[in-house]
Chains A and B, each alone.
Chain A
Amino acid sequence: MIVAGVGSAVIEPGFFSSAPVQVALVVGAIAAVVSGVVGIFTVVRGQSFAGHSLADIGTAGGSAAFLVGVNPLYGFVAMNLVAGGVMELIGIRRPRGRDVATGIVLGAALGFAALFLYFDTTSTSTTGATINVLFGSIFTLPSSIVPVIVVLSVLAIGMTCFLYRPLLLSSLSPDLAAARGVSLRFVGIGFLVSLALAVSLSAVTIGAILSTALLIGPAATALRFTKRTGSAIVAAAAIGVGATWLGILLSYDSYYWTPSHRGWPVSFFVVAVVFVVYLAADLFTGHRVTARRPTMRGAR
């Protein structure tokens, strides 16, 4: 009785029976799992900037899709795949060259995003475009999009699993991987495809500009307390799913909160939960991490 009472106080009546909530829970979990799997490698490879840039770049595709009346997901995916390819093509292997390539593509894409969002907001039929593209549309997703999301997530996770070993080896040392006959370019492009898909999926969930939080936050948290790649991936996915579901629940609960009485955005809650969990993990594991022995990098 007490448990049920507490439960109904936290989980508002009608939460699980609401169709938009059901779609949101499924899509949110899928996006979080993909972000967790891809996020670990993104952090380990030092490609957080590329991940965040793809999210911003995707807004050009998402807003263009909105303009022509297509679901923004398709725009995100198309734009991110093209941008990832261009970044890899004009980028060189050195991390700095990669950052410059990313920055150049990012700048160009943001220009288009500004243009399309301007058209979106000035055309009467699509007034919610900016909010939808930038901050996500998880409660307004049609259930018909779910199969597409499933296919894209299987592609992203499948690609990451396929590249698993050479990806790890080249993250440890590109020279070491190349000496073993690994094609760094193939692995790099393959991983960018996974990254582009992961970012697109979280862009429709919590929005383009916030998708970095779902990509990097759970992964960075998991890396604080795991020592195996496999367990880091599982932990990142679990943290992401937990944060997303809690965010959806809090957003649903916030319907009667001030000031708008129309509910706070899901993305805010997801990002807030991810951040709090990271801080907690950091505090909890901070002592051990600072007590670690000096490494070669430290001595350099």
Chain B
Amino acid sequence: MTDAAEGSSTEILSVANLSVSLAGREILRDVSFTCDAGEFIGLIGSNGAGKTTLLRVILGLTAPTSGSVRVAGRERSSRKPLIGYVPQKIGLDPDMPIRARDLVGLGIDGHRFGIPRPTAKRNALIDEMLAAVDATRFADARVGNLSGGEQQRIMIAHALISRPRLLLLDEPLANLDIRSEQEVVSLVARIAAEQNVAVLFAAHGMNPLLPVMDRVAYIARGRVAIGTTAEVVTTESLSRLYGRHVDVVTVHNRILVVAGREDEGLHHVEPVPRAEPT
């Protein structure tokens, strides 16, 4: 086996010179990075930075202007089964007549035609996945009636039940309280490690991900800076990315990114960390 082939066997995601324009506006410019099997990458950026666009291009839902995306070496058409996806703001209707376990089951065969036929094997797989995300307790409840954190666990189970190699999560922490936030992060990290799934976890702030992420992909002004937090989250590196001076300060093991000078008024780029739950 050559070195190149060996390299591609652990490399799950390869994004090369990717540029994306939507409605004439440049969203991503010349973005390149790779992600290895089992690696946890936090995709950090503010609203409109291009996190969702990047995930959509990787999924094949949005076509890039130039550049390429390969998932386990595969082109756009054949890579969908390899990717698990948790979309942004799913907002499940409370009236939606579907139980948590049915939604997880759709992760197996939701793209196929016809009515699902429950087999012992299918049910066992669903039960196993529900147990893995600690959702057995509310498996038979209507998903719309579950809390935000519970819904996210079900969505994660839905995304992982088909055993993908890459898991994309689009702001799964939005609208969660801090306890659910920590639960979701540690859950994703644990299962990804167990199943050797690479994770691209989009979030507003990096602090909830600090204990689990291997690398951080900081996205701003259409560009991505990727590396360990020590490499990327520095005053020099982020000032270059933002194109203006930002300060990185650490307070009680939490990172604050502060933009602006006193004369232009201070504001936080990275959201202010909330108090630890008691």
Contact = CB atoms under 8 A, between A and B. Distances in A.
Contacts of B110: 165-166, 168-169, 177, 180, 182
Interface stretch (B25-33, B99-107, B206-214, B220-228): B99-107
B111 A182 contact: yes
A204 B145 CA distance: 38
A289 interface: yes
Contact of B145 (A178, A224, A293): A293
Contact of A173 (B59, B90, B112, B144): B90
Determine chain A's interface SS by DSSP, over half rule: helix
A296 B113 contact: no
Given A165-B116, A295-B146, A172 B96 contact: yes
A289 B151 CA distance: 18
A182 B146 CA distance: 26
Nearest to A224: B95
Interface in B175-189: 175
A227 to B, nearest CB: 4
Contact of B97 (A173, A175, A179, A228): A228
B175 A165 contact: no
Bin chain B's interface residue count. Answer: 35 or more
Nearest to A230: B115
Interface in B90-128: 90-99, 102-103, 106, 109-116
B4 interface: no
B34 interface: no
A173 B96 CA distance: 12
A43 B95 contact: yes
Nearest to A175: B87
B145 A292 contact: yes
Contacts of B97: 40, 44, 222-223, 226-229, 231-232
Contact of A165 (B89, B93, B115): B115
Interface in A185-238: 222-224, 226-232
Given A172-B103, A299-B148, A289 B87 contact: no
Given A164-B115, A166-B110, A300-B91, A295 B147 contact: yes
Contacts of B91: 295-297, 300
B109 A165 contact: yes
Contact of A179 (B59, B113, B141): B59
Interface string B236-264: 00000000000000000000000000000
A196 B23 CA distance: 34
A163 interface: yes
Contacts of A224: 95
B152 to A, nearest CB: 8
B101 to A, nearest CB: 10
Interface string A129-161: 000000000000000000000000000000001
B177 to A, nearest CB: 9
A255 interface: no
B33 to A, nearest CB: 21
Contacts of A181: 80-81, 111
A230 B98 CA distance: 9
A173 B87 contact: yes
A295 B148 CA distance: 6
Interface of B: 56, 59-61, 80-81, 83, 85, 87-99, 102-103, 106, 109-116, 140-142, 144-148, 151, 158, 175
18 contacts: A168-B98, A172-B96, A176-B90, A179-B61, A179-B85, A180-B80, A181-B81, A181-B111, A222-B97, A226-B97, A227-B141, A227-B142, A228-B99, A228-B102, A295-B148, A295-B151, A296-B90, A296-B148
Considering the complex of A and B, which 5 residue pairs feature the smallest CB-CB distances, nearest first?
A232-B97, A297-B91, A169-B110, A180-B111, A227-B142
